[in-house]
A and B are shown apart, each in its own frame.
Chain A
């Protein structure tokens, strides 16, 4: 029983990461119409920036500044590269461009910070178990789940109540009309891209405290993130959060009973969901088809 709880809790944390990654990726897919293969790479960038900044800013400073710097890099990438793809209807081009970007990011991270994994220090106050029976519930893990819930709620509040957020949601539904109403859609898309990248960077810093940092840590996450989005339904932000949690918990629980199957289970879930609901749990018709 404890083993199941242990793996279930691990799965919840994993699911929270996937949800955060999927949320950012889903924003970018919906408004920028770009399938961002480099999303895992941006997560790694955020994590390594925080690792470099931590000695100067401390954990809390790095947790904020790392993702923001990743977001700034995101804006540069959007201006220089991604913007040129707007208007090309075939998604194969955005896939390939960001695929190349992912290769470059992984290689650069390896050149700058080394191929070996590096540990990321977290505050001692967060690092102690909360109970002796449930040793796996450390303060940091609870903090991670709390931070992700907070970030997700903040994003949904931003999209719901700020005028900029409302424009983003309107742009997802009908970008042409939003543009005709006088909104600078280039700015809208650039900021939206940066928000998505910042979420990835934030997930990276949080993940760095649980796992080690390594240049390839984004590779395993990016596929799971795509699966989360497809399970939840492309174009649905709530769906991507739901999808992330479902596959995270499923992978966690499966590793309790059948460790061999824990990598496969998310793809099996995705195939099963698509067979029953071809557009995912909350997906809309016509998007990216």
Chain B
């Protein structure tokens, strides 16, 4: 098969599998809420990958916009609206707006300094969420909201596990479409140019900082969407959603699946979340060790990720 045909087939297979999850996942021992979680983490890691894999900027603070999205959706449901749709929109906008504003602070830094300043911003927001009891619920997290049934005219759909999975899949599709269109546009090609040779891009007249800013804002917007869905999945937002350990999880998901491939983070999320879920039930006391070993094995033996290896294999064959 030629490259383009293969891409189309692969994309169709992925969507066919995602659409039929509630039918086949229980057969292999999973449950639908787990699939919702995988999609949510995959979406956030795909958004992060715009920065990490495509623009070549090592962001270590993606959890900030994920967490903000969660608080945005939760607070909207508590104070503003009974519409689950609007809650998602509110959370997404909060994440995107925060990334747009804060991106202006980080866009000029590079390398490890970029990583550290994104961590710092995430930590400031984390401590704000943890301390601001009256708004966020402090250390106990934000509770007191639940996903509301969807209304289509006379039809009311309660968001139990399976309908909620399709609700998440719907937003996942929108998020993925936004990222895919972006990456195939001149804007996306400019991101890759910056990753490949920042100085040369600058010589060609590209305002590098401004494109990094754009990349950062888009990553934050989609992370906000993903965080909103996560809040609805758990009916709960924890300050730990903003913590740097959570940012590290998104980075490892992207690296595990393959930073250089569009669908890599989805593969990474399937393995990471599935593995975490399995190991924490088998070894409730020592699952962190197993996750740690997984990190080390990935870095040492699969630096280009699962899809990176698969692609190299395919080329040889």
Contacts and interface: CB of A to CB of B under 8 A. Distances in A.
B292 A104 contact: yes
A234 B121 contact: no
Contacts of A279: 113
Interface residues of A, number: 40
Contacts of B303: 88, 93
B58 A260 contact: no
Contacts of B110: 289
A270 B111 CA distance: 16
A223 B119 contact: yes
Contacts of A274: 109, 113, 116-117
Contact of B296 (A91, A100, A289): A100
B112 A107 contact: no
Contacts of B127: 263-264, 267
Interface string A252-266: 000000001001100
A111 B286 contact: yes
Interface string B287-317: 0110111111011100100000000000000
B266 interface: no
A47 B87 CA distance: 47
Interface in A74-115: 81, 84-85, 88, 90-93, 95-97, 99-104, 106-108, 111
Main secondary structure on B side of the interface with A = helix
Main secondary structure on A side of the interface with B = helix
A100 B301 CA distance: 14
B109 A107 contact: no
A96 B300 contact: no
Nearest to A233: B113
Contacts of A55: none
B255 A92 contact: yes
Q: Which of B116, B248, B289 has the most CB of A within 10 A?
A: B116
Contact of A96 (B120, B252, B293): B252
A90 B293 CA distance: 20
Interface in B158-184: none
B261 to A, nearest CB: 16
Interface string B95-134: 0000000000100111111011101110110011001000
A107 B283 CA distance: 12
B251 interface: yes
Contacts of B281: none
A11 B293 CA distance: 36
Given A35-B112, A85-B299, A100 B292 contact: yes
Categorize the interface residue count of chain B: 35 or more
Given A91-B112, A230-B113, A289-B110, A223 B295 contact: no
B272 interface: no
A252 B185 CA distance: 50
A99 B58 contact: no
Interface in B46-60: 52, 58, 60
Contacts of B131: 260, 263
Contacts of A97: 295-296, 299-300
Given A99-B248, A103-B291, A104-B289, A264 B124 contact: yes
A150 B296 CA distance: 36
Contacts of A227: 116, 120
A226 interface: yes
Nearest to A260: B131
A289 B292 contact: no
A99 B295 contact: yes
A289 B113 contact: yes
B244 interface: yes
A238 interface: no
A146 to B, nearest CB: 31
Interface string A215-235: 000000001001100100010
B295 A96 contact: yes
A260 B130 CA distance: 10
Contact of A100 (B117, B128, B286, B293): B293
Interface of A: 35, 81, 84-85, 88, 90-93, 95-97, 99-104, 106-108, 111, 223, 226-227, 230, 234, 260, 263-264, 267-268, 270-271, 274-275, 278-279, 288-289
19 contacts: A81-B300, A84-B300, A91-B115, A96-B248, A96-B252, A96-B298, A96-B299, A97-B300, A104-B288, A104-B289, A104-B292, A104-B296, A226-B116, A230-B120, A264-B123, A264-B127, A270-B117, A271-B120, A289-B111
- State the 3 A-B residue pairs at the shortest beta-carbon distance, nearest first: A100-B295, A103-B292, A104-B292
